[in-house]
Amino acid sequence: MTCGDLRPTHVGKKVVLSGWVHRSRNLGAMVFVDLRDRYGITQIIFDPNISPEAVYEASKELKHEYVIRIEGEIVMRKSPNHKIPTGLIEVQAHDLSVLSEANVPPFAIADDTIDVHEDLRLRYRYLDMRRGEILPNLVMRHKAMQVVRHALTEDGFIEVSTPVLSKSTPEGSRDYLVPSRVHPEKFYALPQSPQMFKQILMVGGLDKYFQIAACCRDEDLRADRQPEHHQIDMEMSFATQEELFPIIENLVGRVFHECKGVELAPPFRRMTHREAMERYGTDKPDLRFEMEIVDATDLAEKTSSALFTESISSGGVVRGLNLKGGARLSRKEIESYQQLVSQFGFKGIAWIKSQEDGLQGAIAKFIEEEERQKWIDRFEMEIGDCLMIIAGEKKRLLQALDQLRRRLGKDFDLIDSSRYEPLWVVDFPLFMWNEEEDRMESETHPFTSPHPDDLELLEKDPLAVRSMGYDLVVNGYEIGSGSQRIHDREVQKRVFSVLGLEDEEVRDRFGFFVEALGFGTPPHLGIGLGLDRLIMILIGSENIKDVIAFPKNHWAQDLMTGAPSEVYEEQLQELAIKIEQSVVGQN
C-alpha cells in the first residue's frame, strides 16, 4: 500500500510503507513522523510501549528527507487531521529500516508555500519534484499521451518514429547541429519537426501517420517555449480540412474530457487570420473575455490632436480598447499601462473617460462637441468606461494593443479561468517580408500550399496570397499549427522561386524531398499539436517548465546537469573540430 491509501476501513491491519520523512516531531515520550510518497502522507507513531526499544531510539535520529521503511499496525488517530485524506488514521510502528540518509536540502521540501527562486528549483529539480507540484503534472502528461495514442489508433493512424539525426534544412528557426565523427566537417541537425519525413511517408503510401515527436529549435525562450519540446505530429493523405478538423476536435476533446473532466463542444469556432488580427491584434486571441480592438482612424483624423493627425499623415492608424469600468483608474495606474506600450516604441496611451458630465481626459479637448457622440457609439461607451487609444504604425500598434488587452484582462479579473475557448484560425498569409534580411520568407514553411483562389497572385503579389494553413488556439495559446501541403511539383517550384531560392540551393537543401514529390504524391495535410502547451493549459499554468520533467532555464541551460558544457580536447579532435574563439556571456 502507499502513503495515500489508508482509511478507517483498514484499522487493525498490518502494513508496510516506504517513503521520505516529511516531518519529524520528537515529543519525548513519543516520536511522530509524517511519511510521504507521491501518493500522499501518513502519520507514523513510534511509541516506546509498543515499538521495540531499538526502533524507538532509531526514530529519534530520523531527519527530513531520510528514506525509510516501516512495518506496523493501522489505528485510529486520537487527534484527526482533516486536511489530508489519511488524517483519520495513523500507523503504530513495530519495525523501522533506514534505507537512505539525506543531506540538508537547499530549500524546504515540507513547506511548499515558501517561494523558492526558479534557478534553485531547476538546479535541484529532483527535490523540486518532491515538493508535490511537478509530479502530478507529469501524471497528467502521461494520461494525455495515452488518450492521444488510443484516440488516433481508433481513427486508423499508425505511429511511426522518424529520424532524430537528419539533414540541416534551415528555414525559420535555427537548427541544433551535431558533428559527425565518421564524416569530418559534416553535420547532422536535430529535428525542428518531422515535417519532410512525414510528408515522404505519405508519398510512401502510409495514409495516416502520427507520433509524439521530440523537436528542437535554437530560438529565444519565453514562458511557453523551450529549446526542446514534444508535439503530437500527424499527417493524412487524400483528405481536406473539413475531414481533418473533426479528427483533431475529437482528439483534443477527449484529452480535456478524460484528463480534466471538461467538455469541449465541437465544432470549434473558426476565424480568419485577418479577422483575428483586426479584432484582437494577434493570431492567437484569448476569447474568454470580451474587449475588441476598435478602429478610430477616421474619427481621429477629424480631431485637432497633433498626436493623431501626424500619425495618420505618415501612414499610421489610430485604434483602441474600451475598458468597462476603467474610469476609476488613477493617472498613476494608467501610467503603468503606458510603460507597457512603450516597449513597442509608443510614447504612451491617449485616454478618454466617460463621466456623468461627459468625456474627460487630456485628449477629449481635441474632439469637437458634435463628434463626441460618434466616439461613444463607435466604442460602445457607457458612463464609467475608459478608452485607451494608441496611434502609430499598424503592425506594432496591434502588437501593443494585444499585450495591453491581455494585461487589462488579468488586472480587472475579466478572464474566467474555468472556461476553455478553442478556436481555429485559418487563411494565414503564405509569405511575410523579412525587413532585416530584405527578402521574402514563408509564414510557416515552404511546403504549405497556397490557397487555390490566390494562385494567380503568387508571382504578381505574393504578400496577398493566402495559405491553406491553420492554427488551433486555446485560451490565447497556439497549441497546434498545420496546413494543406504542396503535392504538385510545379507549384512547389513556384513557391521556391518567390522565396528567392535558386535551383542549386533547392537541390542542396531539399533535393531528396523534391525528388520524392516526383514519384506520385497524393494530396495530404497535417498538423503538429504542442503537447507541452496542451498540458500547461490543462493544469492552469502559464509556465511551460511546470509540465516538463527536466526543463531548461531562460538561457537554454540545464542547471541540474550543467549542460551545455565544455568537452574534452580529445573529443573535439575525433570530430575534427577546432575552437578558434570562445564567446563569453549571453546575448
Q: Per residue in 67-95, pLDDT tens?
A: 999 999 999 999 999 999 999 999 999 99
Question: Quick check: 587 pLDDT over 80?
Answer: no
Indicate the DSSP class of residue 429: B
Tell me: cis bond preceding 564? Omega within 30 of 0 counts: yes
What is the pairing mode between strands 228-237 and 208-216?
Answer: antiparallel
Q: Are residues 253 and 324 in the same domain?
A: no
Which amino acid appears at position 80 of this protein?
Answer: P
The pLDDT tens digits for 27-66 are 988 999 999 999 999 999 999 999 999 999 999 999 999 9
What is the Rg, in whole angstroms, of the alpha carbon atoms belonging to the chain?
Answer: 30
Q: Are residues 143 and 270 in the same domain?
A: yes
Question: Quick check: 172 pLDDT over 80?
Answer: no
Nine-digit cell string for 575: 570530430
Count of alpha carbons within 13 angstroms of residue 203, beta-carbon side: 21
Residue 2 belongs to some domain of the structure: no
Give backbone dihedrals phi and psi of 243, rounded to 5 degrees, phi first: -95, -35
> Measured between alpha carbons, how far is 217 from 239 in angstroms, rounded to an integer?
29
CATH code of the domain covering residue 35: 2.40.50.140
Cα–Cα distance list, 528 to 99, 193, 228, 483 (Å): 45, 8, 14, 10
**203-207, 354-358, 473-477: range with lowest mean pLDDT:** 354-358
Question: Quick check: 270 pLDDT over 70?
Answer: yes
Residue 281 belongs to some domain of the structure: no
Residue count (the chain): 587
Q: Are residues 439 and 328 in the same domain?
A: no
Residue 149 belongs to some domain of the structure: yes
pLDDT for position 170: 67
The pLDDT tens digits for 509-544 are 899 999 999 999 999 999 999 999 999 999 999 999
Q: Are residues 430 and 383 in the same domain?
A: no
> Measured between alpha carbons, how far is 494 from 501 in angstroms, rounded to an integer?
10
Q: Are residues 503 and 480 in the same domain?
A: yes
Beta strands in 402-459 (DSSP E): 422-426, 431-434, 439-442
The pLDDT tens digits for 365-397 are 999 999 999 999 999 999 999 999 999 999 999
Residue 39 belongs to some domain of the structure: yes
CATH code of the domain covering residue 167: 3.30.930.10
Question: Quick check: 234 pLDDT over 80?
Answer: yes
Q: Which residue has the higher pLDDT, 112 or 280?
A: 280
Residue 503 belongs to some domain of the structure: yes
Residue 248 belongs to some domain of the structure: yes
> Measured between alpha carbons, how far is 266 from 259 in angstroms, rounded to an integer?
18
> Measured between alpha carbons, how far is 55 from 62 in angstroms, rounded to an integer?
11
Q: What does the mean pLDDT of the chain come to?
A: 94
| Percent of all residues in the chain with a pLDDT value above 70, rounded to a whole number | 98
pLDDT for position 583: 55
User: What confidence category does residue 584 fall into, taking pLDDT thresholds of 50, 70 and 90?
Assistant: very low
Q: Which residues contact 154 (CB under 8 A, 6 or more apart)?
A: none
Closest CA relative to residue 442, chosen from 392, 501, 488: 501
The pLDDT tens digits for 405-463 are 999 999 999 999 999 999 999 999 999 999 888 899 999 899 999 999 999 999 999 99
Q: How many domains is the chain built from?
A: 3
Residue 482, classed as helix, strand or coil, is strand
Q: Are residues 450 and 529 in the same domain?
A: yes
Q: Are residues 297 and 390 in the same domain?
A: yes
Q: Are residues 383 and 455 in the same domain?
A: no
Q: Are residues 430 and 503 in the same domain?
A: yes
The pLDDT tens digits for 102-153 are 999 999 999 888 899 999 999 999 999 999 999 999 999 999 999 999 999 9
Beta strands in 450-584 (DSSP E): 469-474, 477-484, 524-530
- By the 8 A CB rule, do 6 and 12 touch? no
Average pLDDT over residues 307-312: 94
* Residues spanned by the domain of 214: 137-274+422-547
Final residue of a domain: which of 83, 100, 117?
Answer: 100
- Determine the distance from the C-alpha atom of residue 160 to the mean position of all C-alpha atoms in its chain, rounded to a whole number: 25
The pLDDT tens digits for 190-224 are 999 999 999 999 999 999 999 999 999 998 877 78
CATH code of the domain covering residue 296: 3.30.1360.30
Residue 512 belongs to some domain of the structure: yes
Question: Quick check: 362 pLDDT over 90?
Answer: no
Q: Are residues 227 and 205 in the same domain?
A: yes
Packing angle between helix 394-411 and helix 331-342, nearest 10 degrees?
140
> Measured between alpha carbons, how far is 337 from 342 in angstroms, rounded to an integer?
9
Indicate the DSSP class of residue 467: B
pLDDT for position 523: 97
